[in-house]
Structure 1
Amino acid sequence: MIYAILTEAQNKQEKQPDMADTVDSSIAVAGLKAAIRVASHGSFLRAAISMGVSQSQLSRRVAGLESRLGQKLFHRHGRGVALTDFGQRIMPRVQSLIAELEAFDALVSDTRAQLSGDVTVGVIPLVSRHLASSLVRRLQSTHPGIRLRMLEAYSGQVEEWLSSGRVDIGVFNRYGGARPVYADPLMRGQVSVIGTPDHPLFRQKDIPFNVLQAIPIAMPARPNSLTDHILGAAANHGISLNIALEAGTSSLIQEAMLASGLLTLSPAGTYVKAISNNQLTARHLCSPSVQQTTWIATSRQHPLTAASRAVEKFIKEILYTSTQ
């Protein structure tokens, strides 16, 4: 039955379909995708949020699929929902077939027309330079019709652009354990203490948080997720930080470090060129350490075009490769 639903959907894309048949198969496939998301989140509410639909709409999709299959896929428990025995048996196959259908759909779309159009990407300084050069090279060789627009900003601004629809794709950081909705992780790292090599703190291999007490530092201007997280962690440990400078760009912070000996707290990759040239040095922050995760997400304010999907795929490949 599952395979029949998906085969029917594929056949509809290869010929001019009857409108009623198209609606029916589309509803069935939507039900399968909804079931996958509910199984992944263990909750209708969380799954609905991740898909950008109402919980009642999601429930109707799953109920319609269960009616068509003649079997229940989920049962409720105190913490949400779990797959029934039937659901557990078929879910791996459903996931595989949906992935196959989406790949088929992408292939059909790509063969109908050369990818073209404008794609706007918001990125953080940590990845902007490496990503821009690699991404432009790939697009020029594979999809020269795509016009790329890249905007650099700190994470909070990138997330605002995603929410408003100003960018199609955003790459941003989160700190600690907070997982953003609608986003996929790209890479993980650790926040470091960064400054000029002659600073006395860099005699240590790792730098405990409490030794930063009252030492002048530069941080990204608030509101900023890194600055907010660092200040929160400091307050939780009774540490008073002396933020002598808040700056709107990492280049301003770098100039301040080189000119006045200020330190900053940041992923080392943000200043990788200056560190490799021995202008700056980095030591891991510890006791407590601060973990950083880089995420990629797409705007929910408008449909994602085929060109945007291609750019998103390339970004993931480039940044995954850079961490290997």
Structure 2
Amino acid sequence: MMSLIKYEILQAVAEVQSFTKAAEQLGLTQSAISHAISSLEKEFGFPLIHRSRAGVKLTTDGQTMLLAMRKVLQAEELLQQQAAHITGVTKGTVRIGLISSISTKWMPSIIRVMEQRYPGIKIELREGDYYEIEQWLVSGEVDCGFLNRASFKQFQYIPLIKDPLMCIVSSNSSLYGQKLIDLKETENEHFIMPSYKGTNDVITMFEKHTIKPNIRFELFDESGIISMVEHHLGVSILPKLVLTGLPSNVRAIPFKQETFRIIGLSTTYNISPATEKFMEILMEWLEGNKDIDYLSKGTY
């Protein structure tokens, strides 16, 4: 058990890059944090932490060891959850990697149901892009994550919804009055490209239909993209899920071609009871939401 506490300390130090902040987070003294790290370094025989004026960071060896420690901590968490499950008490922690549209549109309602039905389960949310969520899954920092494709073989991927990709145009655009837009027509407009690491749904769609957009800007933030369109600086393509409260001079118009992204949930194959309960609530919520093109129909 003492080793597990040390592993938790190293994990906290790696996340906040500070002994002081890690001590505050874990409710320990700074000297206890320092002693635990020194004890681990002595036990393993090599440095785990690099100290500098900018703060503390894991050494390369420290990063390797933390990956192994996270697996031990996850196994301990799973063990405790299974014991609680046997005694009829559902508790534990589920850590979820989210894209922004999911955290805004889905999670408040889902968390409310989770808290009502399983008050013993703690939910931790971490927001990023597809690439970051994949990395968190690989490193064990999250138990499940929302992605737009299957990633690595060690994870199962459950497609959940089809989210239409819409053309976002301002009243100054020649496309503004159309009911449907042909993808080819976007080549004649200045284009604002959604930019993020990982598989880019818009770029993938353009490549599929051999479209060569006239890219003027590349932005990560959807609200920034919409603002650019609002000020007549170009057109863009965004998922329907992120489009609420558009400015009065901006329209979201569907394409003649079938254009959509798939959003699914990626998990390890050996999921914890807490993660399993989250998945049950998620799919129950999706099935009951008539505005969503749900794919899995309550099975996984």
The Cα of 1:188 is off from its aligned counterpart by: 1.5
Residues 186 and 180 from structure 1, CA distance in 2 versus in 1: closer, same or farther, beyond 3 angstroms? Answer: farther
Residues 247 and 320 from structure 1, CA distance in 2 versus in 1: closer, same or farther, beyond 3 angstroms? Answer: farther
* Equivalent position to 1:223, from 197, 211, 214: 197
Q: For residues 320 and 172 of structure 1, what CA distance do their matches in structure 2 show?
A: 19
Residues 145 and 254 from structure 1, CA distance in 2 versus in 1: closer, same or farther, beyond 3 angstroms? Answer: farther
Structure 1 letter corresponding to 2:260? Q
TM-superposition CA deviations, 1:152-194 (whole Å, max 9, x none)? 33333333332332221112224xxx89862112112432111
Match of 2:287 in 1: 320
Aligned to 1:201, what secondary structure does the other structure show?
coil
Matched, 1:304 2:271: yes
Residues 278 and 114 from structure 1, CA distance in 2 versus in 1: closer, same or farther, beyond 3 angstroms? Answer: farther
Structure 2 letter corresponding to 1:201? L
Q: For residues 242 and 98 of structure 2, what CA distance do their matches in structure 1 show?
A: 12
Matched, 1:274 2:245: yes
Q: Check conservation: 1:191, 1:290, Cα contact below 8 A.
A: yes
The Cα of 1:296 is off from its aligned counterpart by: 1.2
Q: Check conservation: 1:192, 1:283, Cα contact below 8 A.
A: yes
* Equivalent position to 2:263, from 279, 285, 294: 294
Residues 197 and 291 from structure 1, CA distance in 2 versus in 1: closer, same or farther, beyond 3 angstroms? Answer: same
Q: For residues 159 and 171 of structure 2, what CA distance do their matches in structure 1 show?
A: 32
Matched, 1:193 2:160: no
Match of 1:149 in 2: 124
* Equivalent position to 1:246, from 213, 218, 241: 218
Q: Could you list the runs of 5+ residues in structure 1 that have no partner in the other structure? A: 1-105
Structure 2 letter corresponding to 1:229? T
Matched, 1:206 2:180: yes
Relative to its length, the structure with more helix (as a share) is: 1
Larger radius of gyration: 1
Matched, 1:262 2:237: no
Match of 1:36 in 2: none
* Equivalent position to 1:172, from 129, 144, 147: 147
TM-superposition CA deviations, 1:88-134 (whole Å, max 9, x none)? xxxxxxxxxxxxxxxxxx99963515323332112223332121211
Question: Which deviates more from structure 2 when the two are superposed, residues 137-146 or residues 157-166?
Answer: 157-166
Match of 1:75 in 2: none
TM-superposition CA deviations, 1:48-86 (whole Å, max 9, x none)? xxxxxxxxxxxxxxxxxxxxxxxxxxxxxxxxxxxxxxx
Match of 1:71 in 2: none
Structure 1 letter corresponding to 2:218? E
Give the TM-score normalised by the residue count of structure 2: 0.60
Q: For residues 274 and 290 of structure 1, what CA distance do their matches in structure 2 show?
A: 22
Match of 1:140 in 2: 115
Q: For residues 278 and 143 of structure 1, what CA distance do their matches in structure 2 show?
A: 42
Match of 2:89 in 1: 114
Aligned to 1:114, what secondary structure does the other structure show?
coil
Q: Could you list the runs of 5+ residues in structure 2 that have no partner in the other structure? A: 1-80, 294-300
Aligned to 2:197, what secondary structure does the other structure show?
coil
The Cα of 1:143 is off from its aligned counterpart by: 1.7
Residues 195 and 119 from structure 1, CA distance in 2 versus in 1: closer, same or farther, beyond 3 angstroms? Answer: farther
The Cα of 1:205 is off from its aligned counterpart by: 1.0
Q: For residues 183 and 200 of structure 1, what CA distance do their matches in structure 2 show?
A: 40
TM-superposition CA deviations, 1:255-291 (whole Å, max 9, x none)? 33334443221221211x224x7464211123x4323
Q: For residues 185 and 317 of structure 1, what CA distance do their matches in structure 2 show?
A: 14
- State, as a whole percentage, how many aligned pairs show the same letter: 21
Q: Check conservation: 2:133, 2:146, Cα contact below 8 A.
A: yes
Write out the 4+ residue segments of structure 1 that deviate beyond 4 Å after TM superposition.
Answer: 106-109, 178-181
Structure 1 letter corresponding to 2:213? L
Q: For residues 260 and 299 of structure 1, what CA distance do their matches in structure 2 show?
A: 45
